[in-house]
Amino acid sequence: MASNNNKKSIKRFRLIFAALCLVGVYIVGTALSTMLLRADYWRQVSQRYVSDSIIVPAMRGNIISADGKIMVASLPKYRLFMDFVVIDKDSVARTKAQHWRDSVLTHCLDSIATGLHEIFPDKSVEWFRERFQTGRKRGSHAWSIYPRQVTYIQFKACKKLPLLRERPYRGGFTPQRIDLRIKPYGSLASRTLGTLSKDSVTDTVRATSGLEWCYDTVMHGKYGLMHRTKVRNQKIGFYDREPVNGHDLVTTIDTRMQDIAEKAIRNKLKEVNGDKGVVILMEVATGDIKAMVSLTGYRNETTGEKEYYEAQNDAINALWEPGSTFKTGSIMVALEDGKITPETTVETGSGIYMMHGRPMKDHNWHRGGYGTLNVTQVLEYSSNIGVSRLIDDAYHDNPQKYVQGLYNLGVGIPLGLPMGANPRVRMPDTDPNKGNWSKTALAWMSIGYETQIPPISTLAFYNAIANNGRMVRPRFVKAVEDNGQVIQEFPVEVIKEQICSPRTLRDIRTILEKVVSEGLGRRAGNKRFKVSGKTGTAQVAENGSYASHAYMVSFCGYFPSDAPKYSCIVCIRKRGLPASGGGQCGPVFSEISQLVMNQGVYRDPREAADSTSIFTPTLAKKRSAAEINEGVVPDVIGMGARDAVACLQKAGLKARLRGTGLVNEQSLPGGTKNAKGKTVTLNLK
């Protein structure tokens, strides 16, 4: 009995084994058939179902001026191409699609050519007709149908024409999108705003300078990712991650002030045949940079004339010897240490004085010099001998104390800016054998040589004097916005709460006012308001020695003297005489200050009134309130920007501002319902 059961089990196992072997042979045979006998068929099938991934670029954020103007923006442009040959390895599908495309092109060519002529009137109907016929004869895959880049509106108009309205893989119309970075104001503040360049290897755009570079992570956004799956002769796209557009940057630059500064320095450079020119205009209380210009002259090979461009940002990067504008800091160190008073006198002699074996000269040495001067007159007339003797007598045996005094004033310290070079004011080494200090070093450092300071650092120091001794960090950006909403603010930052004692500050402000009213800075003055500041003239070192024909002239100061609102520095690098900071940079400073104050920008109307008049403010007809219902657009016409934005936000809406002044137009009319969460564009005038 047991033997029979064993025999039956063996038979069953044999049958199962045989069945498994047959299944295995079938699987192997099918696999071999697929790989060898039907390879072409499955290869064609695979071509119909192809999935690829592409990067979708994000729209870069805009750069906006303090007065609401778009200074840099991303704008999509398009190049228009036609593919006259259907690409599909499935011969049946390809033949069918090609026949349809050719048939439509034959019957609609006149309509297409006429439509394109209406969109692009510079080319005739016949030109477009011949363009399409030539591309078709050549069987081109990427045939340009218009030679220039076109706008988004023009591109959308093309998409309404026969054949061009079809999907790219059906009709063959394959536009190429190009995201351009445009500057509506041309070269205005171009180096401050910065530049972008395209990496030829990675084919990506990267920021290379200016605010574009400093705030690249804020502005570039996040790339999206999509995959396209090909089904027969069509590709269907799906977003795996949608692109996130970059944020907008709200700068401190005022386009009107920037324009004033650029025109003033450019005209003066042409007049004196200057090589370089720099202007920086700063708001005293906040440190906001309202204008920054860095022009370099290049000889036009065709006309032979000098033309000026913003090729380098010398305002923040140039490490120049500041010359006589540095003397203010030297005198302040001695005043602060009690070494001198404004009435202290010093003998300057006939204008030439031997400082440790090296001749020190005043600018009027050939006219017999200034003789005896007090400290106030030393700065009024910018006496090299006067400053160097005062400082050398006080600190020759302890130059470290002098340099530390400069640091305490904020002279020569890093400003911590997002861009630009740090000043170089070296500290004497206590070991004289190390050779970083000579007997004449202190005397020449005290008048602005043997130091390297970018113009913005000099301005920050004078701005602190104007700001009652409070040194603030220069600010280029006020906020980051997303669709008109502030998502990050950059507050005013204080570097030094007080650079010196009230007594020193009072003395130096009195002296700087006299430099303009009675001294060499007269041409920087203005009849309508008082100006304070200091002139500067320095020889420029070339190839390791000071050239007698190369000069850096400057004027740095603030206005109005009684209640300073703006500080400004003007620098000109030139060759040949005359070379005078007061005579050549002073008029530029005067022109800028007068035009800025005349415009009434951020200005108290009382400044325009004389001392005997009774001030009566004239109020604009301005609304400050509106009925607010959540989900309903309030009517904000006639309101100021701040009130209008507040009203919209309370109603659950977003706001986008254009222009300055009062609201004279809103994109969604007041009373519109079901608008919660939408963005309302406000035009101000």
User: CB under 8 Å to 14, separation ≥6 — which residues?
Assistant: none
Same domain, yes or no: 363 and 450? yes
55 and 214 Cβ atoms separated by less than 8 Å: no
Same domain, yes or no: 465 and 441? yes
CATH no. for residue 660? 3.30.10.20
Quote the tokens at residue 568: 């400004």
Same domain, yes or no: 516 and 638? no
Same domain, yes or no: 524 and 623? no
Same domain, yes or no: 514 and 569? yes
CATH no. for residue 88? 3.90.1310.10
- Give the model's pLDDT for residue 661: 65
Same domain, yes or no: 494 and 386? yes
Residue at 134 is within a domain: yes
- Give the model's pLDDT for residue 427: 92
Q: Identify the domain containing residue 139 by its residue range.
A: 53-248
Distances from the Cα of 576 to the Cα of 236, 286, 320, 360, 377, angstroms: 69, 38, 18, 21, 27
68 and 253 Cβ atoms separated by less than 8 Å: no
Phi, psi of 559 (to 5 degrees): -155, 155
516 and 426 Cβ atoms separated by less than 8 Å: no
Residue at 611 is within a domain: no
Q: How many CB atoms lie within 10 A of CB 123?
A: 17
pLDDT digits (tens, 9 = 90+) for 368-427: 999 999 999 999 999 999 999 999 999 999 999 999 999 999 999 999 999 999 999 999
Distances from the Cα of 583 to the Cα of 274, 323, 540, 590, 643, angstroms: 14, 15, 18, 11, 47
**In whole angstroms, what is the distance from residue 532 CA to residue 560 CA?**
8
pTM comes to 0.74
pLDDT digits (tens, 9 = 90+) for 469-497: 999 999 999 999 988 889 999 999 999 99
- Which stretches of 145-233 are assigned E, i.e. beta strand? 176-182, 196-198, 205-207, 224-231
Same domain, yes or no: 237 and 386? no
User: CB under 8 Å to 422, separation ≥6 — which residues?
Assistant: 414, 415
CATH no. for residue 481? 3.40.710.10
455-466 helix and 502-517 helix, angle to the nearest 10 degrees: 110
Same domain, yes or no: 277 and 419? yes
472 and 481 Cβ atoms separated by less than 8 Å: no
Residue at 196 is within a domain: yes
| Ranges in the chain, pLDDT < 50 | 232-233, 601-622
Residue at 19 is within a domain: no
Same domain, yes or no: 277 and 244? no
Residue at 8 is within a domain: no
**In whole angstroms, what is the distance from residue 533 CA to residue 339 CA?**
23
Residue at 505 is within a domain: yes
Residue at 610 is within a domain: no
**In whole angstroms, what is the distance from residue 274 CA to residue 295 CA?**
10
**In whole angstroms, what is the distance from residue 129 CA to residue 108 CA?**
10
569 three-class SS: strand
Phi, psi of 263 (to 5 degrees): -65, -40
Cis ω on the peptide bond leading into residue 578 (within 30° of 0)?
A: yes
- Which stretches of 300-402 are assigned E, i.e. beta strand? 306-309, 345-347, 352-355, 358-361, 372-374
Which of 556, 575, 601 is where one domain is finished? Answer: 601
User: CB under 8 Å to 60, separation ≥6 — which residues?
Assistant: 74, 179, 181, 205, 219, 220, 221, 245, 246
Q: How many CB atoms lie within 10 A of CB 520?
A: 24
Cross-strand partners of 230 = 50, 235
Same domain, yes or no: 213 and 335? no
* Torsion region of 543: left, alpha or beta (phi above 0 gives left; psi -120 to 50 gives alpha): left
Quote the tokens at residue 4: 């029979």
Q: How many CB atoms lie within 10 A of CB 681?
A: 14
Which of 248, 277, 305 is where one domain is finished? Answer: 248
479 and 488 Cβ atoms separated by less than 8 Å: yes
Same domain, yes or no: 446 and 379? yes
Indicate the residue type of 513.
E
Q: How do 49-56 and 234-241 pair as beta strands? A: unpaired
Angle value at C-alpha 676, between 670 and 678, nearest 5 degrees: 80
Which of 190, 217, 248 is where one domain is finished? Answer: 248
Residue at 18 is within a domain: no
Same domain, yes or no: 148 and 285? no
User: CB under 8 Å to 471, separation ≥6 — which residues?
Assistant: 410, 460, 461, 463, 464, 494, 495, 496, 499
Quote the tokens at residue 202: 């990675």
Q: Domain count for the chain, please give it.
A: 3
